């Protein structure tokens, strides 16, 4: 028997229906139905919600510590303590780096790795406000938001562990604590020390100004210091008895700047003089210049390094000084993986990206204002809430990451999530501020959820791992891993003076 609806009931139903339609339209292309998730994924997502305040406290603590590469003592110790409390077996001091660690839960295959980073950048201290004001003058700050990166990776690992326990999922989850990413040191030396190579797959994430899969490649990078040794003398009283190491540095830099005209357009060569001398009236007996040499292909980076090394020798001959060369690290380009990119993109849509409040958007607009004043008339968005489709795997970013070296041995996939104001540049004070606010917090939790359910997909679906392995093997044909780092060389003890990526 049909029943007539009264006017009030009809209006309520229409209002609910309108709300539902608006939500679907707003989120179209953003997320699939939660019903597509299996029981283990629901457990992992619930675990991250349970951990929410603890995870955000970890971000805040590491943000406050703000320790540069290979000096992340408090940041590393905090993550290690949290992981041990969560039931992980943790090995510290990995690859002779005190702040590197590996946290493991489970046994047997598959073995899935997640990556945590927690180093800050020198000189980037900033309060969580929308104008430039350091927390502490000339102190480090998380301008690449690795405080959030480490916190999100921790959350994902613990969530996967809980799902493995509750649903009797076999396999191994590992969280790698990788120091000094900003100088592309940590993962490279951990790899040379025997880590990562037994993984079936590795997943990672990074805070960004948009939500997207990290589906393209990156630039190879050689980090090298050239030190010139001369003879000290009074710069005015007896200059003829001196041999200036600083002259050698300057002549070398001039030579490299002329070299730039004759390298491929993808090359990037930049330097900073870390030691020029001690006083103007003393001929500098020792000077050092630090170079980053980048290219889309590692072979090109190697070739440019050899060329620059010859320029350094020429500068030494011209100034009658002696040159020494120290390769600090040698980072390879990222090998993308289409099956992993597709899995991560699917799960980014399944979880659904967070939406931001009007007050959060207003804060982002205030962060953007100095950039607008300096660089362009306006930015279209305050915060990017879209989920962008994967870029072609043939694409290459302008930056470098030591994740690249892992990808030469293990199928690797990654994502970026919105933690910053739209169009915000990397390594800016705006990003230091943003990752400490609810804007960054939403991106951290979103990333953790995507990584957690993607890890469980790989653990429970052997076909996904098989497809990722086939794709990786195809891309690795005719590629041989080589390194310019001398055999047995230890990681540099400190990277406090550099800003990389």
**CA separation for the pair 77, 98 (Å, rounded):** 10
Structure tokens, 48: 């991250």
- Residue 375 pLDDT: 77
**CA separation for the pair 298, 393 (Å, rounded):** 17
User: pLDDT for 108-121, tens place per residue?
Assistant: 999 999 999 999 99
Among the listed residues 45, 342, 340, 332, the one whose alpha carbon sits nearest the alpha carbon of residue 200: 340
**Mean pLDDT, range 300-317, rounded to an integer:** 98
Structure tokens, 264: 């491929």
- Residue 395 pLDDT: 77
- Residue 378 pLDDT: 73
Whether the pLDDT of residue 14 is over 70: the answer is no
- Residue 494 pLDDT: 61
Lowest-confidence pick of 48-52, 207-211, 378-382:
378-382
CA distances from residue 473 to 203, 210, 396, 412, 482 in whole angstroms, order as listed: 17, 30, 20, 12, 17
Contact 126, 433 (CB under 8 A): yes
- Residue 58 pLDDT: 98
Contact 74, 65 (CB under 8 A): yes
- What is 220-330's CATH number? 3.30.70.360
For CA atoms 317, 483, 96, 401, the dihedral sign is positive
64 phi/psi in degrees, rounded to 5: -70, -35
User: pLDDT for 368-388, tens place per residue?
Assistant: 999 887 776 778 899 999 999
**CA separation for the pair 466, 462 (Å, rounded):** 6
Orientation of helix 438-460 relative to helix 338-351, angle to 10°: 120
Domain ranges in the chain? 31-217+333-475, 220-330
Q: DSSP E strands: which ranges in 167-282?
A: 171-177, 201-208, 211-214, 220-229, 268-275
- Looking up tokens 């104001």 gives 421
Q: DSSP E strands: which ranges in 248-321?
A: 268-275, 286-295
Angle at Cα 348 formed by Cα 205 and Cα 62, nearest 5°?
A: 35
Among the listed residues 394, 380, 378, 449, the one whose alpha carbon sits nearest the alpha carbon of residue 417: 449
Contact 450, 205 (CB under 8 A): yes
Whether the pLDDT of residue 220 is over 80: the answer is yes
Orientation of helix 438-460 relative to helix 358-374, angle to 10°: 100
Whether the pLDDT of residue 501 is over 50: the answer is no
**CA separation for the pair 277, 279 (Å, rounded):** 6
- Residue 396 pLDDT: 82
Structure tokens, 290: 């630090």
Selected residue with higher pLDDT from 395 and 215: 215
Q: DSSP E strands: which ranges in 209-246?
A: 211-214, 220-229
- Residue 272 pLDDT: 96
For residue 106, the SS3 value is: strand
- Residue 134 pLDDT: 97
Chain-centre distance for alpha carbon 22 = 36
**CA separation for the pair 348, 337 (Å, rounded):** 16
User: pLDDT for 272-302, tens place per residue?
Assistant: 999 999 999 999 999 999 999 999 999 999 9
**Mean pLDDT, range 382-403, rounded to an integer:** 89
- Residue 23 pLDDT: 37
**CA separation for the pair 109, 326 (Å, rounded):** 39
Whether the pLDDT of residue 19 is over 90: the answer is no
Q: For the whole model, what pTM was predicted? A: 0.90
Fold of the 31-217+333-475 domain: Aminopeptidase (3.40.630)
The mean pLDDT of the chain is: 92
Among the listed residues 318, 239, 255, the one whose alpha carbon sits nearest the alpha carbon of residue 289: 255
Selected residue with higher pLDDT from 399 and 448: 448
Lowest-confidence pick of 20-34, 87-101, 155-169, 443-457:
20-34
Selected residue with higher pLDDT from 171 and 11: 171
Contacts of 440 (CB under 8 A, 6+ apart): 59, 145, 148, 207, 419, 420, 434
**Mean pLDDT, range 166-195, rounded to an integer:** 97
Q: For residue 464, name the pLDDT band (cuts at 50, 70, 90).
A: very high
**CA separation for the pair 225, 223 (Å, rounded):** 7
């Amino acid at each position: 028997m049909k029943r007539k609806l009264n006017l009030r009931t009809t209006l309520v139903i229409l209002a609910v229906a309108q709300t539902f339609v608006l939500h679907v339209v707003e989120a179209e292309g953003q997320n699939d139905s939660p019903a597509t998730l299996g029981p283990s994924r629901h457990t992992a997502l619930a675990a991250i919600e349970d951990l929410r305040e603890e995870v955000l406290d970890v971000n805040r603590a590491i943000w406050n510590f703000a320790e540069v590469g290979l000096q992340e003592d408090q940041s590393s110790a905090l993550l290690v303590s949290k992981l041990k409390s969560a039931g992980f077996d943790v090995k510290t001091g990995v690859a002779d780096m005190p702040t590197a660690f590996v946290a493991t839960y489970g046994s047997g295959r598959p073995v899935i790795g997640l990556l945590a980073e927690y180093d800050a950048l020198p000189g980037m201290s900033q309060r969580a406000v929308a104008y430039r004001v350091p927390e502490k003058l000339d102190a480090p700050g998380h301008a690449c938001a690795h405080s959030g990166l480490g916190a999100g990776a921790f959350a994902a690992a613990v969530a996967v562990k809980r799902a493995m326990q509750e649903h009797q999922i076999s396999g191994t989850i590992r969280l790698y604590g990788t120091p000094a990413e900003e100088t592309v040191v940590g993962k490279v030396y951990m790899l040379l020390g025997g880590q990562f190579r037994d993984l079936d797959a590795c997943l990672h994430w990074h805070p960004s100004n948009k939500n997207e899969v990290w589906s393209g490649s990156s630039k190879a990078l050689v980090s090298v210091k050239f030190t010139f040794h001369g003879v000290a003398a009074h710069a005015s009283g007896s200059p003829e008895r001196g041999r200036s190491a600083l002259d050698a540095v300057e002549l070398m830099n001039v030579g490299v700047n002329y070299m730039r005209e004759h390298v491929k357009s993808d090359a990037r060569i930049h330097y900073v003089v870390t030691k020029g001398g001690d006083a103007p009236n003393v001929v500098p007996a020792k000077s050092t210049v630090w170079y980053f040499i980048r290219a889309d292909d590692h072979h090109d980076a190697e070739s440019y390094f050899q060329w620059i090394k010859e320029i350094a020798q020429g500068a030494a001959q011209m100034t009658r000084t002696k040159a020494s060369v120290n390769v600090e690290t040698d980072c390879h380009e990222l090998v993308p993986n289409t099956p992993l990119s597709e899995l991560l993109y699917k799960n980014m849509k399944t979880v659904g990206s967070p939406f931001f409040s009007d007050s959060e958007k207003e804060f982002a607009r205030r962060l953007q204002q100095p950039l607008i004043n300096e660089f362009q008339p306006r930015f279209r968005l305050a915060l990017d809430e879209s989920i962008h489709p994967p870029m072609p795997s043939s694409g290459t970013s302008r930056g470098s990451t030591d994740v690249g070296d892992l990808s030469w041995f293990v199928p690797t996939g990654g994502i970026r999530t919105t933690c910053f104001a739209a169009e915000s540049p990397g390594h800016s004070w705006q990003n230091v501020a943003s990752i400490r606010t609810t804007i960054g917090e939403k991106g951290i939790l979103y990333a953790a959820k995507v990584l957690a359910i993607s890890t469980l997909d790989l653990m429970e679906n052997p076909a996904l791992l098989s497809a990722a392995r086939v794709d990786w093997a195809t891309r690795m044909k005719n590629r041989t891993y080589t390194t310019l780092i001398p055999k047995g060389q230890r990681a540099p003890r400190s990277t406090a003076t550099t800003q990389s990526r």
